[in-house]
Amino acid sequence: MTPATANIPNLVPDIQRSVRDALTEDVGDGDITAQLIPAERQARARVITREECVFCGRAWVDEVFRQLDPALNVIWHVEDGQRVEANSTLFELDGNARSILTGERCALNFVQTLSGTASTAATYAALTSGTQIKILDTRKTIPGLRTAQKYAVLCGGCENHRIGLYDAFLIKENHIAAAGGIRNAVQQAHQIKPGALVEVEVESLEELQQALDAGADVIMLDEFTDDMTEQALKLAKGRAKIEISGSVNEARLQQLANLEVDYISSGSLTKHLRAIDLSLRLYSE
């Protein structure tokens, strides 16, 4: 799996679970159309991408066919994170024809979604190339595919924000109101899980100063103007990292690339993806 050092909790068991769920959803109690094919028929298939993309999804394809038919051979032509041209062969399948056709849609669904995520991430990463800015994803992921999409984001050259609600604090407007203010919220966070990253979302320079005084590690600027952002950077220098969030698309990202912020987070990496167009062709042996 690439990147091999991806530190995403539960990724391998999540792959096994999501593949099992996808096969259960699609195959049910049996693929009745595949039964038209003689059980002993062997075949070879090739999967191509009809468009340029950044590929992602090897482990999911391998797991689909491992669960369906361990005897089937997957022959890889690409690696995760590799940019491939239109009409390139991604992988071949060699084995039982029924198994190939039964697993086709599940395998391609994972690849088209994860490659779409990786390709979007690569586009965003390119827009800030040469700067110190790190592009982060969010929790706006497809239900059940959180770790998969987080991995795809890494394959595209961006980075992960927190994985879930358990590994870092992100204190937003409603948390602040319910906790009795920014200072109270940050202090409680340090007590609840010492050493965990504490991030506070602010909507004004006054709130920014409160977050700095409270000892926040990262401060997220929500819908700040560029002038406000420049002021925020001066106030936070050496005291906290600055993240920009809210209405971040490709056009806005090009504008933000000139600002010396630490992070830009965008839900578009995972929720506005467009699936990659793939094709499988079977050849009887």
The catalytic residue positions are 105, 140, 172, 201, 222
3-state per-residue secondary structure call for 104-136: HHHHHHHHHHHHHHHHHHHHHHHHCCCCCCEEE
DSSP string computed for the chain: --STT---TTHHHHHHHHHHHHHHHHHTT--TTGGGS-TT-EEEEEEEESS-EE---HHHHHHHHHHH-TTPEEEE---TT-EE-TT-EEEEEEEEHHHHHHHHHHHHHHHHHHHHHHHHHHHHHHHTTTSS-EEE--S---TT-HHHHHHHHHHTT-B---SSSSSSEEE-HHHHHHHTSHHHHHHHHHHHSTTS-EEEEESSHHHHHHHHHHT-SEEEEES--HHHHHHHHHHHTTT-EEEEESS--HHHHHHHTTS--SEEE-THHHHS--PPPEEEEEEE-
Cα separation, 216 vs 197, whole angstroms: 8
What does the CA dihedral 204, 210, 213, 216 come to, rounded to 10 degrees? -70
